[in-house]
């Protein structure tokens, strides 16, 4: 009797363990579904945090997440997508360096009925869908509108020259935000657009000489908008190296700089008076939204046709008066499966 009782107990325990394992792996009955991620440029802090949020959220929900870095090379990104397809991924998330360049690889994925989520392929709501299952769209347009408004209202009593620093690689979202900002400045009679130069290295070192060139050609410039915080910091360095002042230290004569991203270095630059403001691109929220979209389809059984074709990620302003700002690092650490 004791042996029978022991065998029953062991069988019961094993059964419970098997049931538990099956319920935990909710993405698939036997093995985890694979989410492939085409990373545009892993050295970029925004992209890095975006991918980490996908990986963290995906693994918390029971998925296997496979990411391949395109290292800022549009032609290489096509091969990274094809590489992911050879690994039999069940879904793709792609943040493109060049939307048109990767289209053939996307078509190969779509021909296999693989759900594909794009990030900033189309940068405006209601635009081309590229055949994607859904798109994550950062609301950069609102950032550009608000940045121009800040400059116009700050310098409302005088006409000021405005310049920008964009990105040399034709990433759709970055091209759009600079184009939109230029268009917005032209709506204000006291703002005069004078120049834009594009950062070839996507970092502080690449932006500093560009800002120096802008100052040489346009010594009266008072307002600068950049596509990312690193370029804004590089611009601030060049301004100080040219013995010019920043707005925060000298409102009467200083140059006001506004960036985009709200990464750690950008927040620190605001605290140090180098940047007037930035806009939180919210890459963590974008990554989580992508995984949750796929989880609704794979786990909850919602058809792709019933899920949203566009997911807009808000990009709120962050300045020295912002209360309750949560850093990307803290957002990452708080990701769970709930």
Shared domain check, 293 and 174: no
Q: Are residues 139 and 315 in contact, defined by beta-carbon separation less than 8 angstroms?
A: yes
Q: Quick one: 271 and 296 in the same domain?
A: no
- Domain with residue 181: its CATH number is 3.40.50.2300
Do 195 and 243 belong together in one domain?
A: yes
Q: Cα separations (Å) of 75 from 72, 82, 111, 154, 319? A: 9, 12, 21, 43, 37
Tens digit of each residue's pLDDT (9 = 90 or more) over 166-175: 999 889 999 9
User: What is the rounded distance in angstroms from the CA atom of residue 314 to the CA atom of residue 280?
Assistant: 8
Q: Are 70 and 76 in contact (CB under 8 A)?
A: yes
Domain shared by 159 and 263, yes or no:
yes
Q: Which domain holds residue 101?
A: 30-139+283-314
Q: For residues 127 and 65, what is the distance between their CA atoms, to the nearest angstrom?
A: 29
pLDDT tens column, 257-270? 999 999 999 999 99
| Domain presence at residue 116 | yes
User: Is there a domain that residue 2 lies in?
Assistant: no
Instruction: Please give the structure tokens belonging to residue 226.
Output: 């950049």
CA distance 133 to 70: 22
* 307/254 same-domain check: no
The whole-number pLDDT of residue 337 equals 67
Kindly state whether residue 256 falls inside one of the protein's structural domains.
yes
- Count: domains in the chain: 2
Regarding whether 146 and 41 lie in a shared domain, the answer is no
321: in domain: no
Per-residue pLDDT, 21: 39
Q: In what order do the strands lie in the sheet with 116-119?
A: 64-69, 34-39, 91-94, 116-119, 134-138, 310-313
Helix crossing, 283-298 with 45-60: angle to 10°? 30
Q: Are residues 131 and 144 in the same domain?
A: no
| Crossing angle (nearest 10°) for helices 229-241 and 204-217 | 50
212 assigned to some structural domain? yes
pLDDT at 122: 85
Query: 38 and 64: one domain?
Result: yes
Separation between Cα atoms, residue 165 and residue 330, nearest integer Å: 29
> Strand pairing of 134-138 and 116-119?
parallel
pLDDT for 112 equals 96
C-alpha dist (Å) from residue 222 to 87, 186, 256, 288: 52, 16, 6, 38
Are 150 and 224 members of one domain? Answer: yes
pLDDT by residue for the chain (338 residues), tens digit each? 444 444 444 443 444 343 333 334 444 445 899 999 999 999 999 999 999 999 999 999 999 999 999 999 999 999 999 999 999 999 999 999 999 999 999 999 999 999 999 999 988 888 788 999 999 999 999 999 999 999 999 999 999 999 999 999 889 999 999 999 999 999 999 999 999 999 999 999 999 999 999 999 999 999 999 999 999 999 999 999 999 999 999 999 999 999 999 999 999 999 999 999 999 999 999 999 999 999 999 999 999 999 999 999 999 999 999 999 999 999 999 998 67
Is pTM beyond 0.85 here? yes
Query: Is 176 in the same domain as 224?
Result: yes
Same domain, 287 and 194: no
The answer to whether position 325 is within a domain reads no
Q: Are residues 113 and 146 in the same domain?
A: no
Positive or negative torsion for Cα 92, 98, 104, 105: negative
């Amino acid at each position: 009797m004791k042996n029978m009782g022991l065998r029953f107990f062991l069988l019961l325990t094993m059964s419970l363990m098997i049931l538990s394992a099956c319920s935990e792996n909710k993405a698939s009955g036997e093995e985890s579904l694979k989410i492939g991620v085409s990373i545009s440029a892993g050295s970029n802090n925004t992209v890095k945090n975006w991918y980490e949020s996908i990986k963290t959220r995906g693994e918390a929900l029971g998925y296997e997440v496979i990411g391949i870095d395109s290292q800022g090379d549009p032609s290489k990104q096509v091969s990274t997508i094809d590489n992911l397809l050879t690994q039999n991924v069940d879904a793709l998330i792609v943040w493109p360096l060049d939307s048109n360049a990767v289209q053939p690889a996307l078509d190969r994925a779509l021909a296999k009925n693989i759900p594909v989520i794009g990030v900033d392929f189309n940068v405006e709501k209601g635009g081309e869908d590229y055949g994607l299952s859904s798109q994550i769209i950062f609301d950069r347009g609102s950032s550009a509108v608000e940045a121009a408004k800040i400059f116009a209202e700050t310098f409302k009593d005088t006409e000021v020259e405005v310049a920008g620093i964009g990105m040399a690689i034709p990433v759709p979202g970055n091209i759009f935000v600079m184009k939109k900002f230029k268009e917005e400045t032209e709506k204000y009679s006291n703002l005069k657009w004078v120049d834009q130069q594009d950062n070839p290295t996507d970092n502080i070192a690449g932006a500093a000489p560009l800002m120096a060139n802008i100052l040489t050609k346009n010594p009266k410039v008072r307002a600068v908008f950049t596509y990312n915080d690193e370029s804004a910091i590089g611009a601030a360095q060049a301004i100080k190296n040219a013995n010019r002042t920043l707005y925060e230290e000298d409102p009467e004569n200083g140059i006001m700089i506004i960036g985009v991203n709200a990464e750690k270095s950008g927040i620190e630059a605001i605290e140090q008076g180098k940047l007037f403001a930035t806009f939180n691109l919210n890459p963590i929220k974008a990554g989580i939204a992508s995984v949750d979209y796929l989880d609704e389809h794979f786990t909850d059984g919602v058809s792709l046709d019933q899920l949203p074709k566009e997911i807009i990620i808000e990009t709120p302003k962050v300045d020295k008066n912002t209360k309750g700002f949560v850093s990307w690092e803290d957002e990452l650490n708080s990701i769970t499966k709930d």
